[in-house]
Amino acid sequence: MTVSDVKVGYELTTKEKRFIGWHILVAVLALLIGSLMGPLQSFEFSGLNLYRYLEPILQDYYQGLTLHGVLNALVWTTFFIVGFTNLTTIKGLGRPLSHPLVNKIGFWTMLTGLVMTAVPLLLGEATVLYTFYPPLEASWAFYLGLTLVVVGSWIEGYGFFLTYRGWRKDNPGVRSPFIAFAGVLNMAMWQIATLGIAVEILTMLLPWSVGLIDATDPELARTYFWFTGHPLVYFWLLPAYISWYAMLPKQAGGKLFSDSLARLAFWLFLLVSIPVGFHHQFVDPGIPEGWKWIHAGLTYAVFFPSMLTAFTVIASLEHAAKQRGGKGLVGWIRALPWSDPSVSAQLLAGILFMFGGIGGLVNASYNINTVIHNTAWVPGHFHLTVATAVTLSFIGISYWLVPHLSGRKLWKPKWAVIQTWTWFVGMIIFSNAMHVLGLLGAPRRTPLGQAPYVPEEWAGHLLRVSIGGGILFIAVIMYVWTMYKTVRGPKVDPSEVPEVPIAESMRHPQLTPAWLDTFKPWLIGAIVLILVAYGPQLFEQISNISLNSPGIGP
Amino acid sequence: MSPTSEKTKESMGVDPFERNWMIFSIGMLVVFFTLVTVAGFALGFQVPGVETKVDPRTVTVDPASPFSEPGLRKVSEGNYEAYVVARTFSYEPREIEVPVGSKVTIYVTSPDVQHGFKVQDTNINMQIVPGQVSKLEYTFDRVGEFPYICTEFCGIGHAAMFGVVKVVQPGEGGDQ
């Protein structure tokens, strides 16, 4: 067997940099606009309803909440991830995309979809929140636009698969470079996972919103939606994991602790992140307790690769810190390069993610879920996961990525470090208050400043939500401003532009067993597990479909 | 934690610390899962399951449907059934009064959009979906007022949607 080294020498062309840059630009603009709604919602909790001054631009709290969810959770993430996966594929494999036109078509499809979604959202004709549960009915353009965003991401995925296949053919027996492997795996998982909402929209919501059928089956729609809804969070999370596993150790001056365990974790995510959707439907009617219980068990199983991740990432960081002279059981943490904003962002993201993970285990715990279901706990939870583990990591990535793509230096790195801490502090206040409110029974998705049943004792926590939300808003503005000033700054000598950080593995990747670098058995396993965990109940619901719930505008 | 680079054969290369961590992780998950399973299936802390399907267009008007007359029905001493209609943007009935210690089986459905039904300070928490009936059983063993609130966005008046369970001393209060 030949042991060949990973080629990392490939330099991105200007065209490739610009193409990736477009993804990041759309992502950051979505984050900016979506986050403008953040303080409007959080201030409302302590009685300051700014929406009344914003008519006719925004009509109400729920329109703002829909924009916040769609732009931040769906658009910012998807565009950033697909752009980042372009980078991990090209840079990881050390070769250009085999069919760049495919990726171009994919990107423009996504962008067309985004515009099509944005119009009804801004006109107030799609105030259905980002879960768009029927029979609340949005304009057809909203459903079609979302479909195009997903289809565009599929098409870009095909571009990655073709490039990966080409590399495989030229390098038989060689372990695929980790970042390319992991990015392609995430896109493969995404293809399977999004079949749920694709079927929901194409067979039910789209024909219904254009008037071909007059009613829907809301429970079946929920089952389709959550088929996609949970793996969606892993689609967000895995690119952050790619950075934590294979980039952050390099930035901290170390290596990836274990290539084989990193791959095992990713395969387990492919295997078990889809057949777990009923844990979002624990309190639903129409689904037997037994199936909910099975999905609870599988959700516990998907917690295992996250535990593996915690170990490998922390071990890699400890190794790096000790190289830098760090000492002690936990004292080494201080030796990490906290003054690098990209590192501090991802370390802080990782710290808060531990609490997100613990909360997630509560959510997954079958009957314990009834305590927090549909309460403020849930947005409190996912502001630690998607809005911190993912978003703050993406912010950290962009602190080297945007300078790398634009051939510039990061504008005021110290300011960027403060930005990451501002996010961290704001999120601790916001998220803790939301978790506490949830335990006290406060519902999610509700302008609590107007709700008649809110007891006096919630007031302090509601105020903390407002304060945390305000701090987070400042952090978003600081981030976007840093990005703006960076790309508007002068071009610098290529030697001053940050490189793509790619960590070597402590053991040579060629020593990783071959079964951890082959797609077929794992894909078959994932599909079999989905058929077992979803097949019977899905068949039951589809064969008993009752299209008897007419649409109602919000 | 020494890297095992001297080995040249393919292997997982699992570090002893890592192996222990994996054993701990699996052990923890098995214990937690056992606990929720016992609580659910042996001690009765259950989630809602499959009840009847209904036609949301007729469920509140069809005289044969129990939801055409929402309210509390006494089944036997200390045993009640409550039929609740959740609609934009109120519950029918708005108030349920039972003597302390009563076991109440609550059935909820919606004739319009999805709603939530969460009774504060209890384990009652249900998604209300048009076309379906959500059902849970609960014994109210503390005197007091327990608001039930809508926990799913249902439209512009969502925040105002609530009712209250009044748990009273036997003999006090209304018509029970």
Is B59 part of a structural domain of the chain?
A: no
Alpha helices in A375-512 (DSSP H): 377-384, 391-406, 413-440, 459-488
Q: Which residues of B touch A286 (CB under 8 A)?
A: 50-51, 53, 129, 132
Catalytic residue among A263, A381, A404, A435: A381
pLDDT of residue B2: 43
CB B112 within 8 A of CB B56: yes
CB B56 within 8 A of CB B111: yes
> 39-78 in A: which are within 8 Å (CB) of B?
60, 62, 65
Residue with tokens 């990973």: A6
pLDDT of residue B7: 53
| A536 inside 8 A of chain B by CB | no
Residues B34, B116 within the same domain? no
What are the φ and ψ backbone dihedral angles of A54, each rounded to 5 degrees?
Answer: -100, -5
CA A542 vs. chain centroid, Å, equals: 29
Cα nearest neighbour of A175 on chain B: B10
pLDDT of residue A3: 40
CA A353 vs. chain centroid, Å, equals: 13
Q: Is A381 a catalytic residue?
A: yes
| Calpha distance A474→A468 (Å, rounded) | 10
Q: Which residues of B touch A445 (CB under 8 A)?
A: 151-153, 158
| A311 inside 8 A of chain B by CB | yes
What Rg, from alpha-carbon coordinates, does chain A have? 23
| B38 inside 8 A of chain A by CB | no
Residue-range definition of the domain harbouring residue B22: 14-46
Is B78 part of a structural domain of the chain?
A: yes
Is B38 part of a structural domain of the chain?
A: yes
| A446 inside 8 A of chain B by CB | yes
- Tens of pLDDT, residue by residue over B9-47, are 788 888 889 999 999 999 999 999 999 999 999 998 899
Domain residue spans in chain A?
Answer: 14-546
Instruction: Burial-class residue A441 by CB neighbours within 10 Å (0-12, 13-18, 19+).
Output: buried
Tokens, residue B73:
């029905």
Catalytic residue among A279, A383, A404, A408: A383
Tens place of pLDDT for every residue, chain B, 176 residues? 444 444 567 888 888 899 999 999 999 999 999 999 999 999 988 999 999 999 999 999 999 999 999 999 999 999 999 999 999 999 999 999 999 999 999 999 999 999 999 999 999 999 999 999 999 999 999 999 999 999 999 999 999 999 999 999 987 655 54
pLDDT of residue A316: 94
Q: Is A68 a catalytic residue?
A: no
Residues B72, B42 within the same domain? no
Residue type present at position A309? T
Number of domains in chain B: 2
pLDDT of residue B174: 55
Regions of chain A where pLDDT drops below 70: 1-8, 554
Catalytic residue among A444, A461, A473, A479: A444
> 75-114 in B: which are within 8 Å (CB) of A?
88, 112-114
- Tens of pLDDT, residue by residue over A335-368, are 999 999 999 999 999 999 999 999 999 999 999 9
Residues B106, B35 within the same domain? no
Cβ pair A367:B118 closer than 8 A:
no
Tell me the pTM.
0.95
Q: Which of A453, A454, A504, A540 to mutate to test the interface with B (most CBs of B within 10 A)?
A: A453
pLDDT of residue A6: 45
Residues B73, B117 within the same domain? yes
CB within 8 A of B165, min separation 6: which ones? B95, B96, B97, B98, B119, B140, B145, B146, B147, B148
**So what CATH class is A14-546?**
mainly alpha
Question: What was the ipTM of the complex prediction?
Answer: 0.93
A-to-B residue pairs, Cβ atoms closer than 8 angstroms: 220
CA distance A217 to chain B (A): 7
- CATH number of the domain to which B106 belongs: 2.60.40.420
